[in-house]
Amino acid sequence: MDSLSKPVWEVAPRLLGWRVCRRLGDTVLKLPIVETEAYASSEDGASHAWRGPTPRNRPMFGPVGRSYVYFIYGMYHCLNVVAHAPEAAGAVLIRALDHGQCNGPGKLCRFLQIDRELTDLDLFASPDLWLEPGEPGGEVATGLRVGIRKSVELPWRFWIAGNRHVSRGPVVLPSSLGEGGPGG
């Protein structure tokens, strides 16, 4: 899709309000995205694509609008939507959906039964996992990404302000806490 063929940090906030659709047997769940993070390429030390293509991250270098699902910490899966400018690489991590059991990237994949077998699918053509455009329906907040150790300063986390199912509150750089703040 055209709206995904732009720098991933521009696409990530625009995916808020879109629905992740998942078929589970006879049931189809459609849950709005309420929190995302952008992961780019060589300019982003926290991205899986940082050191170039590997068997795992190959979808990030492929066509936009496909899924990138990876396994992490020996027990969780994370769902991404491939998005990047032409000739670039990148993906948007889906961190939370508007549902009580989807308030975190690992938790939403557990709830929707998403694992690596669903990686590299066309998210506009798959009968099992797909996306539908939508609107945020609220103010979009921006902040620092969660759970990374490199490129910590990039403000590439986006969420719907005030939504109950966002995985965490705002994250700030240690340097901006000031010297009078709580000890760390």
Partner DNA sequence: GTCAAGATTAGT
Partner DNA sequence: CTAATCTTGACG
**Footprint of DNA on this chain (CB under 7 A)?**
37, 39, 46-49, 51-52, 54-57, 60, 68, 70-76, 78, 80, 91, 93, 95, 104-108, 116, 145-150, 167, 184
With respect to DNA, which residue has the nearer C-beta, 67 or 160? 67
131, β-bridge pairs: 20
With respect to DNA, which residue has the nearer C-beta, 21 or 60? 60
Are 92 and 10 contacting, i.e. CB atoms less than 8 angstroms apart? no
Tokens found for residue 45: 């030390």
Task: Tell which phi-psi region holds residue 17, choosing left (phi > 0), alpha (psi between -120 and 50) or beta.
Answer: left
With respect to DNA, which residue has the nearer C-beta, 26 or 179? 179
Please report how close the Cβ of residue 125 comes to DNA at its closest, in angstroms.
Answer: 22
Q: Kindly state the helix (H) or strand (E) to which residue 14 belongs, with its residue range.
A: helix 8-14
Query: CA 79 → CA 121, 137, 181, distances in Å?
Result: 11, 23, 35
With respect to DNA, which residue has the nearer C-beta, 127 or 183? 183
Q: Which amino acid is at 141?
A: A
Please report how close the Cβ of residue 108 comes to DNA at its closest, in angstroms.
Answer: 7
Please report how close the Cβ of residue 46 comes to DNA at its closest, in angstroms.
Answer: 6
Please report how close the Cβ of residue 150 comes to DNA at its closest, in angstroms.
Answer: 6
